[in-house]
Chain A
Amino acid sequence: MIDRDSLLRRAEFLRRQKRFKEAEREVGVVLQSDPEDVEALIILGHCKIDTRQLDEAVTILKQCLQFDSSKDYVFYLLAFTHYQKNDSKSALQYLKEALSIFPYNSGYFALAAHIYLESKDYQAALDAADAGLAMEADNVSCLNARSSALFRLNKKEEARETIHEALAVDPENYITHTNYGWHHLEKGRHKEAATHFKEALRINPNYAYAKQGYKSALKSRLIFYRWMLQSNLWLAQQNKRLRLGMIFGIWLLVAGINTAGEHSHLQYVCYTVMLLYFVVVVFSWIGSSVANLYLMTTPHGRYILTHQEKWSARMVGALLLCSIIAFVAVLFINQDYLFIPGVLAGMSIIFNEIDFPIRPFQVKGRMLFSQIILATGILCCLAACINFQVASAIAMVYAIMFVVFIWSGSIRKSM
């Protein structure tokens, strides 16, 4: 006779020890004798969430609801799964169900707060976190959500207090440390940020968010990157419309200034504005890779970069160098070919986006588009050795595709 309870207890124990395969096996035994055992299904679903098989988790948990729709925890898990899938709307719906069945779990409120944070509804996030804390005053997850919300609402003093509170409850909480680190980065204090990210990584070296933060903190030693990062982080907090508006607005502004001042004595001022704008745009694209190039020279940075980042950085660096050499060469030899360094510099931007290892024309969508542009760029450089007319014609095609690529990319990023 199979002892169901002890099997499930073992399964849950194994799950907590992250031995998912073994846990699933124990659960499987229970499900074999009763495929509708809700508790077993819940553990199985939980395992699927932990192993990031989110779609399977949803299927299993929905099955649970069919057999028994009175379990608040199932709704909570479903909400969590949808939150992980960045589907805040469904997540909130499920969470409401869970809370309507059992409104006294601070963990449910913590999740609600995180969902609101994700959808940038900071006041609601703060309220949810407070509601959770009213039930359990030292719920670290609620405290984390609360501090994040307070930062966004610009109540910095309170936010800092909350973080200290959270660290007092659990000084070994890597999420708190990571949050703190990102907050520092936003304010441009990269050294403090680095200490907190380091601490977070010491506790949980596999926490990707902390790793990313640590990387950014190291790169923030470079002043241009620091500015770029700060503005990016600021932009990310704004809503979609504002972000799109900023991108088009600035472009229109610059174009406007340019046309207005074209034939006046302020011409040189216009040129400077144009050039500055151009530099900022280019750096918003390749700044990260250039900073990675710098990271590759530091011992810590070398190991934190991924394969992809390393190759992007190398290619971007190499192409920029080529572009400068070509520029100098063309200046002295034949200025008609000035488009060549431009093509090369443009390619460096595209290399920033491409996946490594490169599988030529075996990819889809935007990746394929970038590969086509790259191929055109190479073709253009080759043609330049043979015939000026052909080369400039190809360069034209290249330029058109390039502009499409950049604008579509900008819009995509701000969506």
Chain B
Amino acid sequence: MNEGIEQLKEALSFSPENIPLRLHLAELMVKGFMLDDAAAQYQEILNINYGNDKARKGLANVFYKQKKFSAAILVYEALMADNKIVGEELVPFVKCLIKENSHNEAIEIYKKVLQQVPGFKDEEIDSTLRMPTMGNKRRMDEDGDDDFEDDIDDMFGGNEFEDGGSDFLMEKPDLKFEDVGGMKKVKNEISLKIIQPLKNPDLYKAFGKKTGGGILLYGPPGCGKTYLAKATAGEIDAKFINIGLHDILDMWMGNSEKNLHEVFAQARNNAPCVLFFDEVDAIGASRSDLKGSSMRHVINQFLAEMDGVEHSNDGVLILAATNAPWSVDSAFRRPGRFDRVVFVAPPDTEGRVEVLKRHLKGKPTEEIDLAAVAKVTEEYSGADLKAVIDIATEYKLEDSLAKGSIEKITTKDLIKAAKQHKNTTAEWFSTARNYALYANETGLYNDILDYMKIKK
């Protein structure tokens, strides 16, 4: 090999500008573990042709091998910014980040690798980044792509991860209430029930008002219930544990009581902490639906944990969300449990403007009359609005490809897209309306009646 290197060096001395030749030389040097020399060659190439991708990748790789992690990271970041690096090439980058203890970034990048190379496995990375969740790791292999992000979220703990046997995903959201457009009433309600008691504990004590208990958020899908829960955690600067449908399922299937206890234990250990149960109806399916099944155990366990019978739930705020409040057992709504049931309606006009603005950010647009778009998207959920923008973007992409120049999104496009994408909340409301009309003995669904402007 050394011979080959010598020959190449000689050849290069005659044509120093020959980049492919120099690249070849550098590669040979890497193979021969002449890392310093290889680095010099790559630098040389970059001097001649600044921004040569192969040279940059090679250089980063050499830095990685030389354990100059921070230098490698710099090069990788530049490559990332130019979108020049994909798939498995990113793996050394992840490893560098791990070595530099930047776990958060490492997770971000690793997610990308997994997205681009499904089924990718690396013992070293996995052992550092992956936290065992209650579910096993099987999800990776089976779930469809659409759920991918959620699952990844489930699988990793954030940088706030603390020791103590806790193995649920936990994060510390930066979201604040201001980031949530509209929803004044809901925010107010959460603030009274959750935030104020934390900020003014004495006041609440003076009135003899017990703090604690939880809030059950309900409403049509895609209207930001999860987002709101996260913002609540951000608002009080608390940690956030998100228990989704899959975790709940695993509770049913596995040794459920123990798992459920662990969730609460982890939340208590990490107080202040917001414990959020998404699709809680999967746990709290009403008794008549579960007749004769063993699932009563889990419900009872859940209620006992919520009541804080054995351990105090101080500093643990329990939020839950559901699309089907009618199938949540009424035992969940007793005082001290989810005694506040809050309707999260589709965003109002103001909220829609806000959502549209957020999703349009960074896209080529003309001056857009957001109010006009908001007007034609009555009852659209946040997810629907995103779909509308996606459709409009697709139109324009097609146009741009046909014309060869960037066509900007206009108000008209958005309105046209809104006509094409009907709101998905309609189906939910047609079910909810029946419950509000015929099964509303306790006035639980009065908010729905108000929202739908039904007077009885």
Query: Using Cβ atoms and an 8 Å threshold, which residues of chain A touch B285?
Result: 17
B439 lies within 8 A of A13 (CB) = no
Query: Using Cβ atoms and an 8 Å threshold, which residues of chain B touch A205?
Result: 326, 431, 434-435, 437-439
A299 lies within 8 A of B456 (CB) = yes
B252 lies within 8 A of A201 (CB) = no
| C-alpha gap A299/B455 in the complex (Å) | 8
| C-alpha gap A29/B142 in the complex (Å) | 6
| C-alpha gap A13/B249 in the complex (Å) | 8
Chain B residue nearest to A203 in the complex (CB): B439
Chain A residue nearest to B136 in the complex (CB): A3
In the complex, whether A52 has a CB less than 8 A from a CB of chain B is no
Query: Using Cβ atoms and an 8 Å threshold, which residues of chain A touch B271?
Result: none
Tell me the smallest distance from the CB of B329 to a CB of chain A, in Å: 13
Chain A residue nearest to B436 in the complex (CB): A205
Query: Using Cβ atoms and an 8 Å threshold, which residues of chain A touch B282?
Result: 17, 19
In the complex, whether B441 has a CB less than 8 A from a CB of chain A is yes
In the complex, whether A297 has a CB less than 8 A from a CB of chain B is no
In the complex, whether A296 has a CB less than 8 A from a CB of chain B is no
A202 lies within 8 A of B142 (CB) = no
Tell me the smallest distance from the CB of A19 to a CB of chain B, in Å: 8
B456 lies within 8 A of A3 (CB) = no
| C-alpha gap A205/B439 in the complex (Å) | 7
B281 lies within 8 A of A17 (CB) = yes
A303 lies within 8 A of B439 (CB) = no
B438 lies within 8 A of A198 (CB) = yes
| C-alpha gap A7/B326 in the complex (Å) | 27
A303 lies within 8 A of B281 (CB) = no
Chain A residue nearest to B454 in the complex (CB): A303
Chain B binding site: helix, strand, loop or mixed by DSSP? helix
| C-alpha gap A13/B454 in the complex (Å) | 35
| C-alpha gap A205/B327 in the complex (Å) | 12
Query: Using Cβ atoms and an 8 Å threshold, which residues of chain B touch A29?
Result: 142-143
Query: Using Cβ atoms and an 8 Å threshold, which residues of chain A touch B138?
Result: 1-3
Selected contact of B441 from candidates A1, A25, A202, A206, CB within 8 Å: A202
Q: Mark B278-300, 1 if CB is under 8 A from A, else 0.
A: 00011001001100000000000
In the complex, whether A172 has a CB less than 8 A from a CB of chain B is yes
Selected contact of B252 from candidates A13, A18, A300, CB within 8 Å: A13
In the complex, whether A62 has a CB less than 8 A from a CB of chain B is no
In the complex, whether A362 has a CB less than 8 A from a CB of chain B is no
In the complex, whether B245 has a CB less than 8 A from a CB of chain A is yes
Tell me the smallest distance from the CB of B323 to a CB of chain A, in Å: 10
Q: Mark A1-25, 1 if CB is under 8 A from B, else 0.
A: 1110011011001101111001001
B141 lies within 8 A of A2 (CB) = yes
Beyond known contacts A22-B245, A25-B143, A303-B433: 5 more, CB 8 A cutoff? A1-B138, A9-B253, A19-B245, A206-B434, A303-B437
30 A–B contacts from the bound complex (CB under 8 Å)? A1-B138, A2-B138, A2-B141, A6-B253, A7-B142, A9-B253, A10-B253, A13-B249, A13-B252, A14-B249, A16-B289, A17-B289, A17-B327, A18-B324, A22-B245, A25-B144, A29-B142, A172-B288, A201-B438, A201-B439, A202-B441, A203-B439, A205-B431, A205-B435, A205-B437, A206-B431, A303-B433, A303-B454, A303-B456, A304-B437
Q: Using CB atoms and an 8 Å cutoff, list the residues of chain B in contact with chain A.
A: 138, 141-144, 245, 249, 252-253, 281-282, 285, 288-289, 324, 326-327, 431, 433-435, 437-439, 441, 454-456
Q: Using CB atoms and an 8 Å cutoff, list the residues of chain A in contact with chain B.
A: 1-3, 6-7, 9-10, 13-14, 16-19, 22, 25, 29, 172, 198, 201-203, 205-206, 211, 299-300, 303-304
